[in-house]
Chains A and B, each alone.
Chain A
């Protein structure tokens, strides 16, 4: 490090240039990662925030919630394995709503859940609803931007039914639409029309069963039930329409940025290293060990990449604050750590070419040279 630090001190401008380039690349990496995570979260937060880790879907539904249709028999079987509390039905329906007191139309997704079960929405404002209540819903807070407040009446365009907004939940999106939570009673009414008998209502099918289970229980369920598939939360999320396409294109950008970072650094350091070939020869002749020189090169890359990463983290946080609410951006600690480590690792990978070059320099070059 003795040489590494002093060289940076001496050639400030040169290393500053590299630092700025690394800074821009790492900032872009972090920013695009944040946007990708933000978009993902805005897309599927309702599923991601569910405490369940597995979902039972119909075998031919291609993992997609809305294509799946299950009934009480499957629910009973699932509950027999994991217990009543750890299996709960979920019905999903996309629709469009209008609000009576605001001039809005919004695409939403209905989630019909057991209000006492594990999928029950966590109300942050207003009041929750029970399984028995009628005509009340809990909606995602994003609908507030459309002018819907607690107490507003919303009307489903397809069924013509109306509900009063009882409370708000946070971060509940499905396929980029806000989720409207209703209880099973309202769900049955919506599906069968008003005035149906309670006995018949029981047989209204739902889409999936959310499970909180371990792998053994999952196997048991798949063994017991034909024509169903148990998928993980991850599989469920990536099957949400649009999710994979969106994330894959962003992922490709991020991967390219990493590769670019490695190459830019590799080329810069390689050129600098070639310039210093005679110096390395002298250093070796004087008795500097190769490992010392290798650490010197790697040390410089470490210093530059970590420094640029720190600055770009600050920039990213600053940028995050300046971003408008409508632009989804999310970076949690684990993503930051992973991205940072990857960035430093890619930089070091780029430095390896230079290390190889230094290794090839022969101490003999020091003798008989006239150049300065």
Chain B
């Protein structure tokens, strides 16, 4: 059992002098292999900051972050970019697919960035798209897909380079309840089948059915509240 994500005493402070605002204060979190963690909180609670820091997009004011055992401290921009490419899969709000790439190319693009062998990349893309039941639409542009389909492509894209951990930023925000649940279930399935980890940030409490742990971001800390999970 290894920790895919480890955050130790992470603090992020904005502003200076008298008017400082600590969005994250001494935050600790460990996400292990095969774990799917949900982070909840109202808007403005610092969910985006949390995700940015964990996803190597934002350097915290203090504290240490490890991804797949690798410390983010003292890494320059280029090294962080490389780490994001190889170790982290991202899912963004509203999928954020590139409008000019066909479904299959969305996946092949990230494979190219990681310098994966073309044949291998095609096989992996086919495998993921088939698993996520979107293989028939591989030659479509994102504009021709429904919201749920787009998010499924986004899931496939996030897993394409076999990252250690997936970060999902409100993946269900633009979907209706049923489609949203379906997308979350698929993320959970991939976590289990690939033996990876995932952290999902959301404000929707109805989407937690498949999550192993649910944490609340309050005043810069993560608090576990198992009792609040609604059982469907």
Q: Which residues in A have some Cβ–Cβ distance to B below 8 Å?
A: 2-3, 6-7, 9-11, 278-279, 282-290, 292, 363-364, 366-372
Cα separation A240 to B55 with both chains bound (whole Å): 71
Given contact pairs A279-B98, A368-B169, A287 touches B55 in the complex (Cβ within 8 A): no
| B57 x A286 contact (CB < 8 A) | no
| Chain B residue with Cβ nearest A284 | B81
Beta-carbon contact of A367 and B94 below 8 Å: no
Query: In the complex, which residues of chain B have a beta carbon less than 8 angstroms from the beta carbon of A283?
Result: 98
* A285–B55 touching, CB < 8 Å: yes
29 A-B residue pairs with Cβ-Cβ distance under 8 Å, sorted by A, are A2-B109, A2-B112, A3-B109, A11-B100, A282-B96, A284-B81, A285-B55, A285-B84, A286-B85, A286-B90, A286-B113, A287-B85, A287-B113, A288-B81, A289-B78, A289-B81, A292-B113, A363-B57, A363-B81, A363-B84, A364-B58, A366-B57, A367-B52, A367-B55, A367-B92, A368-B51, A369-B93, A370-B93, A371-B94
| Identity of the chain A residue whose Cβ is nearest the Cβ of B112 in the assembled complex | A2
Does A9 lie within 8 Å of B100, measured CB to CB? yes
- List the B side residues contacting A285 at CB < 8 Å: 55, 57, 84, 90, 92
Q: Interface on B for A, CB 8 Å cutoff?
A: 47-48, 51-52, 55, 57-58, 78, 81-86, 88, 90, 92-94, 96, 98-101, 105, 109-110, 112-114, 141, 157, 169, 173-174
In the complex, besides A286-B90, A287-B85, A367-B55, 9 extra interface pairs with C-beta distance below 8 angstroms are: A278-B96, A284-B81, A285-B57, A285-B90, A286-B84, A289-B78, A292-B113, A369-B93, A370-B94
B93 touches A368 (CB 8 A): yes
Interchain CA distance A180-B170 in the complex, whole Å: 87
Which B residues are CB-close (under 8 A) to A10? 99-101, 141
B94 touches A372 (CB 8 A): yes
B92 and A287 within 8 A (CB): no
The residue in A9, A285, A287, A288 that gathers the most chain B C-beta atoms within 10 A of its C-beta is A287
Q: Which of A288, A289, A367 is within 8 Å of B51, CB to CB?
A: A367
- Among B48, B85, B174, which residue has its beta carbon within 8 angstroms of that of A368? B48
- Assuming the contacts A6-B105, A288-B81, A289-B78, asked whether A366 and B100 have C-beta atoms less than 8 A apart, the reply is no
User: Closest residue of chain B to A287, judged by CB?
Assistant: B85
Q: Return B98 CB to nearest CB of chain A, in Å.
A: 6
Contacts of B96 in A (CB 8 A): 278-279, 282, 366, 369, 372
Closest to A9 in B: B100
Chain B residue nearest to A369 (CB atoms) is B93
Q: When chains A and B are docked, how far (Å) is the Cα of A285 from the Cα of B93?
A: 13
Q: How far is B82's CA from A289's CA once the two chains are assembled, in angstroms? A: 8
- Nearest 4 CB-CB pairings of A with B: A287-B85, A10-B100, A368-B48, A287-B84
Q: With both chains docked as a complex, state the minimum distance between the C-beta of B162 and any C-beta of chain A, in angstroms.
A: 13
Q: Which residues of B contact A288 (CB under 8 A)?
A: 81, 85, 113
Chain B proximity of A280: nearest CB distance (Å)? 10
Beta-carbon nearest neighbor of B43 in chain A: A368
CA A2 – CA B101 in complex, angstroms? 10
For A6, the chain B residues whose CB sits under 8 A away are 100-101, 105
